A and B are shown apart, each in its own frame.
Chain A
């Protein structure tokens, strides 16, 4: 039986394939930017309409968990970037552990987010399920929490996909890593960093309004 080709027949070389894969991920990220962009635009429209309510809503969030989560996610991105940088057959073991570490930090992020959701549930801040706030700004605060929940939930879905990617790559690169795996890792890393950048924006939009003044 003949050896399977190392790259698919529509490509002329391995770098050709790898650059195409990378371009594909960048185009995908462009799509993702518009997905979050639409959401963030809607957020700004309402924040502009109800500045005080959004400031008050923001003060109901837990900035401690939010800040820890930011640090967790940035560290995780750092580990992934490190893994991409040192990737080679000789360093397969370290790469695997770096990716597992990054995935674990991702899971820690999700767990902390869960604790935060639970806390908000007990404070009756989940619109549509249990939202009680006897204040004149209740409507605006409710809108703030709708956006908070939708944005963080979509972000968490992206995180879960990213964690699966990182774990899969960790398993694959344990055995005989090739340039093909390097490309896959590079693309997954781009995605993971993108999810990280989205969080930086969400952090500023969710946790910071109204806090600077107080």
Chain B
């Protein structure tokens, strides 16, 4: 390998910190996100250790509040939201559309610095003593009563929001303007449709969170009672504004995962994705309808019954495009030549776990059931099936799929499959018992519980140990692969996407010559399979 690739053009630290190459910025994000993932994971570990017994033996109730708040804030804003878009998306968007870079490379670098500033601010809030409001910052507790670092933590989230907005903006303009000749919208890989939909949400929802946190922090700092009922403010208004962002944010956290799954399922079934246009528009439908469902977080808040009924209805509607995707993935598998490489194992795990998470979401969209399940472990289990079972699994799947492209190295297939299977079992053992706990009435956010809940909690904590080990494993074998793995060919999976037509790792300018697209995506047909690969 004498040719220079994006990793070997320059080895200095300065060349990394001042790079405008989307591939290097993706690596910067990747390293930062691993860091935040393990901080958030450490908090989760402490929570699960505490909950192994009914008594409070590890932490006090106050520390416990700070632990789950830290877990939530770090995982939502400093891992899940930037996870796939800012690492795999940043790396792959220009490669998949045949461009040399994103539309605004310097803005891309700036968004990483803003993200790090936000992350350091949030870390400072944690190190200074933490925050005990829960990740939702509900008023009036956050604005009047909480005796913790609310403003600092909110400032961290506020700052990181601008990074999200700039990334979304960059993706939207890039996908609109920088597609290779011949790459029409309906020839785009579905990963890009879902990143486009995600970007629309990032751009339109994040500013509402910014203004909401600003109002909350103003109330706390000046004591002016914007959400304080004593002087006429309305705490419910905070919840409406917060969830207007935070429900669409759930789709920010799942749409990119769904996008990755399209690539994996079609590649390892050797078939085009079934119903391409439906899957493509389902992403935009989820993004659009996702803006109209936020009230389902507030069924027991005292909002009007009419509002609850409407939000219940729209919540059922938003499940339709998600179901379309699941059915279409299943139809893609049908009569495919399946290969069970590690990325495919993650993809199959995603379909199963996302289906469970999605269907329990329908339970919660029912007013009558939700009244019972609100603030129980049923809700905790539901959103972890989506966020962790869905998004994190898809993230790992995508990471393994594109790893040879990103690093130019192959990883140990044996260990990768072992980790994928362990993650699947560890995850289910951790979170399925929580459905049962929730159905039996165990509330969330308590560090003690009646002894009859212990058996399920022990199972859950045991599963968490397996999950923790399984999440650490890729750090070892992928870390080993990055430095000592066998060299990867340009197209190890024989996939037709543009990203596979350049060398692994790609040169700094991505493509030696401007690629021209002449066919539909996912052409895993006989003609394609007969073509010489890795020529």
**Interface flag for B393 (CB, 8 Å):** no
Question: Known: A9-B100, A146-B224, A150-B218. Is A24-B173 also a contact (CB below 8 A)?
Answer: yes
Which 6 A-B residue pairings sit nearest by Cβ, starting from the closest? A128-B222, A35-B207, A38-B211, A139-B231, A10-B101, A38-B208
Which of B165, B207, B231, B244 is within 8 Å of A142, CB to CB?
Answer: B231
> Are A139 and B204 touching (Cβ within 8 A)?
no
Determine whether the beta carbon of A24 is less than 8 Å from that of B103. yes
Contact yes or no, B177 A16, CB < 8 A: yes
Q: Return B220 CB to nearest CB of chain A, in Å.
A: 10
CB-defined contacts of B233 to chain A, threshold 8 Å: 46, 143
Query: Can you list, as one digit per residue, whether each of B366-402 has a CB less than 8 Å from chain A (1) or not (0)?
Result: 0000000000000000000000000000000000000
Residue of A16, A19, A31, A42 contacting most chain B CB atoms (<10 Å): A31
Contact A31 B203 (CB under 8 A): yes
Please tell me if the beta carbons of B173 and A23 are within 8 angstroms of each other in the complex. yes
Q: Are A20 and B208 in contact (CB under 8 A)?
A: no
Known: A27-B173, A142-B231, A143-B233. 19 other contacts (CB 8 A): A9-B509, A10-B103, A23-B176, A24-B173, A27-B203, A28-B165, A28-B169, A30-B203, A34-B204, A38-B211, A45-B234, A46-B233, A49-B232, A49-B234, A128-B218, A128-B223, A139-B232, A146-B218, A146-B225
Q: Are B509 and A127 in contact (CB under 8 A)?
A: no
**Can you list 25 A-B pairs, Cβ within 8 angstroms, ordered by A?**
A8-B105, A10-B178, A20-B103, A20-B177, A20-B178, A24-B173, A28-B165, A28-B169, A31-B207, A34-B205, A38-B212, A38-B241, A39-B211, A42-B215, A42-B226, A42-B241, A50-B232, A128-B222, A142-B224, A142-B225, A146-B224, A146-B225, A150-B214, A150-B215, A154-B214
Bin chain B's interface residue count.
35 or more
Interface membership of A114, Cβ < 8 A: no
- Asked if residues A42 and B237 are in contact (CB atoms below 8 Å), the reply is yes
Please determine whether A24 and B232 come into contact, CB atoms closer than 8 angstroms: no
B99 within 8 A of A: yes
Instruction: Tell me whether A35 and B208 are in contact (CB under 8 A).
Output: yes
Residues from chain B with a CB closer than 8 A to the CB of A30 are: 203-204
B493 at the interface (CB under 8 A from A): no
Find out whether the CB atom of A35 lies under 8 angstroms from the CB atom of B103: no
B206 within 8 A of A: yes
| List of A residues within 8 angstroms of B232 by Cβ | 46, 49-50, 53, 139-140, 143
Q: How far is the CA of A38 from the CA of B222 in the complex (A)?
A: 20
Q: Is B94's beta carbon under 8 Å from chain A? A: yes
A-B contact count (CB 8 A): 107
Asked whether A45 and B237 contact (CB < 8 A) given A10-B99, A23-B173, A23-B176, the answer is: yes
Q: How far is the CA of A36 from the CA of B222 in the complex (A)?
A: 21
Q: A32-B207, A127-B222, A128-B222 are in contact. Are A143 and B231 (CB under 8 A)?
A: yes
* Those of A3-44 within 8 Å (CB) of chain B: 8-11, 16, 19-20, 23-24, 27-28, 30-32, 34-39, 41-42
B205 cross-chain contacts in A, Cβ below 8 A: 34
| Complex contacts, B103 vs chain A, CB 8 Å | 10, 20, 24
CA distance A23 to B171 in the complex (A): 12
With an 8 A cutoff between CB atoms, is A1 at the interface? no
Given A20-B178, A38-B212, also A127-B234 (CB < 8 A): no
Residues of chain A within 8 A (CB-CB) of B105 are 8, 10
CB distance from A44 to the nearest CB of B (A): 11
Give B contacts to A, CB under 8 Å: 94, 99-105, 107, 165, 168-170, 172-173, 176-178, 203-208, 210-212, 214-215, 218, 221-226, 231-234, 237, 241, 244, 509
User: Dominant SS at the A interface?
Assistant: helix
| Cα-based distance from A19 to B102 in the complex (angstroms) | 14
A150 to B203, CA, bound (A): 22
The interface residues of chain B lying within 8 Å CB-to-CB of A32 are 207
Q: How long is the Cα–Cα vector from A139 to B100 in the complex, in angstroms? A: 57
**In the assembled complex, which residues on chain A have CB atoms less than 8 Å from the CB atom of B215?**
39, 42, 150
B99 to chain A: which residues have CB within 8 Å? 10
Within 8 Å of chain B (Cβ to Cβ): is A90?
A: no
CA–CA, A128 and B225, complex, Å: 9
Q: In whole angstroms, how far apart are the Cα atoms of A83 and B178 in the complex?
A: 30
**With A and B bound together, what is the CA distance between A41 and B101 in angstroms?**
38
Pick from B168, B221, B224, B234 the residue with the most CB of A within 10 Å. Answer: B224
Q: Tell me whether A64 is interfacial, beta carbon within 8 Å.
A: no
For the complex, give the distance between the alpha carbons of A127 and B233 in Å. Answer: 14
Chain A residues with Cβ under 8 A from B100's Cβ? Answer: 9-10
Q: Does A129 belong to the interface (CB within 8 Å)?
A: yes
8 A Cβ contacts from A144-199 to B:
146, 150, 154
A23/B177 in contact, CB under 8 A: yes
Question: Pick the contact of B165 from A31, A41, A49, A146 — CB < 8 Å?
Answer: A31
> Measured between C-beta atoms, what is the minimum distance from A53 to chain B in Å?
8
Contact B101 A38 (CB under 8 A): no
Within A43-71, the residues touching B (CB, 8 Å) are: 45-46, 49-50, 53
- In angstroms, Cα B204 to Cα A159, docked, is 22
Residues in A with CB closer than 8 Å to B237 are 42, 45
**Chain B residues within an 8 Å CB radius of A154:** 214
Output the least CB separation between B259 and chain A (Å): 20
Q: Are B208 and A10 in contact (CB under 8 A)?
A: no
Residue contact A27 to B94, C-beta cutoff 8 Å: no
> B206's contact among A9, A20, A31, A142, by CB below 8 Å, is which?
A31
Q: Which residues of chain B have C-beta atoms less than 8 A from A45's C-beta? A: 234, 237
Given A10-B103, A38-B212, A20–B173 Cβ distance below 8 Å?
yes
CA distance A193 to B218 in the complex (A): 28
| Across-interface contacts of A31 in B (CB, < 8 A) | 165, 169, 203-204, 206-207
